[in-house]
Amino acid sequence: MRFSSSSSSSSKLSPQQNDKPYYVTTPIFYVNASPHVGHLYSMLIADVLKRWQVLKGREALLSTGTDEHGMKVQRAAELQDLHPKALCDANAETFKDLAKKANIANDYFIRTTDPEHRDAVEYFWARLHESGYIYESKHEGWYCVSDETFYPDNMVEKRVSPMTGKSFIASIETGNAVEWTEEKNYHFRLTAFRDRLLRFYRDNPTWVVPNTRFAEVINWVENNLEDLSISRPSSRLDWGIPVPDDSSQTIYVWLDALVNYITTTGYPFWPPNSNRTGGWPADVQVVGKDIVRFHCIYWPAFLMALDLPLPKQVLSHGHWLMSKQKMSKSVGNVVNPFFALDRWGVDTMRYFLIYSGHVSGDADYDNTFIVQKYKKGLQGGLGNLLNRVTRPKNWSVRQAVENMTKTQAWTLSPLVDNHQAYLGRIVKKADDQMKALNPSWALQEIMEAVFETNKFFSEAAPWGKSKEGDTAAVEQIVFLAAESLRIIGILLQPFIPEKSSELLDRLGVSPNKRTLKDAVLYGDDSYGTPSVPLGTGAQSSLFPLIPVED
């Protein structure tokens, strides 16, 4: 047996390699309750990251799914007088439906009740046990069923429920109730990895995004690290995967759950010396800020114990609030994502959540904010620009594209020159934000190009040049505006896939010329003839007027 935290594997992550598919994961979602808008947000971030890589020409994989074991699920099933599996089956389908409805391009939907996952967890446990990092001991401490974790004394406090007026002990971190538990179970020697974890963090300073949350992870390891209880007595928790060779214990739900990320890549049946074939290590693991500790401390330690590669980055995002308060079923301010998608439309919700959501902090959800973002960015910005360029009868987009791409001859006015230079920067600016794992800022950069193009088009006033008979000037202006729309439409595909596809159809851009390589000035000389009707009037616009209800 070996108990040292040293290992032959490198502390520093190797440079990104393109010899495997890009692999991005969402957290797997608890099935003890219905999906909320926060679940949708996690899915959307991962979906945009995956689609961006596909846009760049790289094979990419996205995994999402449901976490179906543990005390929370067991208790939820008991309250509904259901067998846990029946509850899991029903709610897993709801999460699948949400992914489909929101146009999430996931390649995997894993359930922790899948037989393949159970096999992977049992193998993972057996290897941990063989490594010498598992031991038996009595454990006592404050356990939170909602968070499925133990908390040390310095991380709990006495609180009073605003609903009942009764006092209770709660986690300082999450505010959820804890209960004192004493039991004999298996432990993982997490403290053996303290120095190695800290060295890894130091060698990979951008491993957790944002860096403020990374600082919290480092602080936890430096000041709060304890060996981790990784099983529960089956007399108290029998809904889970039994410990191999000891049916009196059930594997801790978080150890079980974290393994899902490698189950989808074929673990443990990786070909020799080729564990990358299924995408592992993950390029990005998307998680909410409330589960950072599990993904950024426990998970890397488990992987280190088995000399397995660590994920390349972890993106931790903030929560969605309602009236500055965290959404809570008890308060009654939870947003049903199905209702929201039905009311506002899929791409409108995708746009709002990505544009307004924050990686570093929380964001406020309000229907008036959705309407504002829609009217300014989509209806009044992008849709209006498309109409202004493609609908007038006194010029031809196709003719402008044909003539300008053929001659590439410009009589550069300062206005045209400035916008052409601006257009040349937008792809890199958006790509830089995506590389920094900030899809919100990437979308804002793209939408800024919409606003700048509208401003350019108004100031250049091609309708005035048309009246003056200045055909060359009209074609320059219309071509540059059309090129702006074409490039913007290509860049928007990961964010609003259906509407961006329709935009490119209205421009007549061929489906095989919609990659990031095509998003350059003069990158396509064949578009300009719409492949779908342009329509007339506001209601046939790309983004029509939306009815606003109270």
Same domain, 397 and 323: no
In angstroms, the CA 288 to CA 326 distance is 13
In angstroms, the CA 130 to CA 510 distance is 57
Name which of 8-17, 88-97, 514-523 the model is least confident about: 8-17
Question: Does some domain include residue 500?
Answer: yes
Number of structural domains, the chain?
2
Same domain, 339 and 400: no
75-109 b/e (C-beta count within 10 Å ≥ 16 → b)? bbbeeeeeebeebbeebbeebbebbeebbbbbebb
Name which of 84-88, 319-323, 366-370, 450-454 the model is least confident about: 319-323
| Mean pLDDT (the chain, rounded) | 91
pLDDT of 327 over the 80 cut: no
Query: What average pLDDT does range 261-283 have in this prediction?
Result: 84
Question: Does some domain include residue 349?
Answer: no
In angstroms, the CA 336 to CA 363 distance is 16
Same domain, 238 and 279: yes
- Quick: pLDDT tens for 368-425: 999 999 999 999 999 999 999 999 999 999 999 999 988 776 777 889 889 989 999 9
**Is the dihedral angle over the CA atoms 108, 112, 114, 120 positive or is it negative?**
positive
Could you tell me the pLDDT band of residue 337, with boundaries at 50, 70 and 90? very high
Range of the domain at 110: 22-344
- Quick: pLDDT tens for 35-47: 999 999 999 999 9
* 141 Cβ contact partners less than 8 Å away, ≥ 6 residues apart: 150, 151, 152, 180, 181, 229
What per-residue confidence (pLDDT) applies to 9?
43
| 495: nearest Cα among 454, 541, 445 | 445
Distances in Å between the alpha carbon of 217 and those of 294, 427, 505?
Answer: 10, 33, 46
What per-residue confidence (pLDDT) applies to 328?
66
Question: pTM surpassing 0.95?
Answer: no
Question: Does some domain include residue 359?
Answer: no
Query: What average pLDDT does range 316-332 have in this prediction?
Result: 79
Last residue of some domain: 344, 378, 393?
A: 344
Same domain, 296 and 189: yes
In angstroms, the CA 412 to CA 389 distance is 20
- Taking a C-beta distance cutoff of 8 angstroms, is the pair 481, 380 a contact? no
Last residue of some domain: 298, 314, 344?
A: 344
State the DSSP H helix or E strand holding residue 212, giving kind and residue range, or none if neither: helix 211-223
Could you tell me the pLDDT band of residue 273, with boundaries at 50, 70 and 90? low
In angstroms, the CA 21 to CA 279 distance is 5
Question: Does some domain include residue 545?
Answer: no
Same domain, 375 and 284: no
Question: Does some domain include residue 515?
Answer: yes
What per-residue confidence (pLDDT) applies to 183?
81
- 3-state SS, 284-345, equals EEEEEHHHHHHHHHHHHHHHHHCCCCCCCCEEEECCEEECCEECCCCCCCCCCHHHHHHHHC
pLDDT of 186 over the 70 cut: yes
Last residue of some domain: 344, 374, 394?
A: 344
- CATH number of the domain where residue 260 is located: 3.40.50.620
Same domain, 337 and 393: no
- Taking a C-beta distance cutoff of 8 angstroms, is the pair 87, 252 a contact? no
Same domain, 209 and 273: yes
What per-residue confidence (pLDDT) applies to 502?
98
What per-residue confidence (pLDDT) applies to 179?
84
CA count, 13 A, side-chain hemisphere, 550: 0
What per-residue confidence (pLDDT) applies to 331?
65
Residue with tokens 């919290």: 216
Same domain, 465 and 506: yes
- Quick: pLDDT tens for 231-261: 999 998 999 999 999 999 999 999 999 999 9
Q: Strands 242-243, 246-251: parallel, antiparallel or unpaired by DSSP? A: antiparallel
Question: Does some domain include residue 309?
Answer: yes
Question: Does some domain include residue 350?
Answer: no
Could you tell me the pLDDT band of residue 170, with boundaries at 50, 70 and 90? confident
Same domain, 373 and 335: no
What single-letter amino acid sits at 266? G
- CATH number of the domain where residue 527 is located: 1.10.730.10
Name which of 173-187, 226-240, 268-282, 294-308 the model is least confident about: 268-282
Query: What average pLDDT does range 222-228 have in this prediction?
Result: 94
Name which of 178-192, 198-212, 292-306 the model is least confident about: 178-192
Same domain, 116 and 259: yes
What per-residue confidence (pLDDT) applies to 162?
75
What per-residue confidence (pLDDT) applies to 2?
32
Determine what percent of the chain is predicted with pLDDT higher than 90: 77
pLDDT of 29 over the 80 cut: yes
Name which of 89-98, 150-159, 453-462, 469-478 the model is least confident about: 150-159
Determine what percent of the chain is predicted with pLDDT higher than 70: 93
What per-residue confidence (pLDDT) applies to 548?
57
What per-residue confidence (pLDDT) applies to 455?
96
Query: What average pLDDT does range 457-462 have in this prediction?
Result: 95
What per-residue confidence (pLDDT) applies to 184?
87
What per-residue confidence (pLDDT) applies to 550?
43
Same domain, 107 and 142: yes
Question: Does some domain include residue 4?
Answer: no
Same domain, 53 and 175: yes
